[in-house]
Amino acid sequence: MNENRKARKIREKKTVLNEDDILPSEKWLVRFRNPNSSRSQEGSVFIRQFHAPGFYEAYDTVMTHAEKSNLDILWFKEKRNCGDEYVNRNFLELESFCTYCNKKFNHLDPVPCTIDDCTAEFCSKECAKNHHAMRHLRH
């Protein structure tokens, strides 16, 4: 995770005192090509949706996912700017990886770590509890 995204996640966890500091989250679409697909020689093409408050956060999310999954990015843009064929459809969510168990998950609201400085996100409360016990509790 790059430093800008890490700093943003830490800021989002802290209480916001001023409403002007809250960035609205927009829905984005990204079109990927999987060059290693067994379905076709050109690779399979698919679209996913995700939320991000701005272009740079969306770019970071898309690039991180593409690098982890070994995918080519064809395009990404705000869903509201994509035209009727995209705006009126729901797409699968962009997958996230659980920090503790490293499994992919598609939740809109991952379970965050309760420690302010930690940017870990989890697929379940159980993984969050295990992470907290292993990482943050000192015996």
Regarding pTM above 0.85, the answer is no
Contact status, residue 93 vs residue 52, Cβ threshold 8 Å: no
Domain definitions of the chain by residue range: 1-94, 96-139
Under CATH, which architecture does the 1-94 domain have? Answer: Roll (3.10)
Say if residue 1's pLDDT is above 60.
no
Contact status, residue 34 vs residue 73, Cβ threshold 8 Å: no
Span 60-102, pLDDT tens digits: 989 988 888 889 999 999 999 988 888 888 887 787 778 888 8
Nearest to 46 by CA among 107, 97, 101, 89: 89
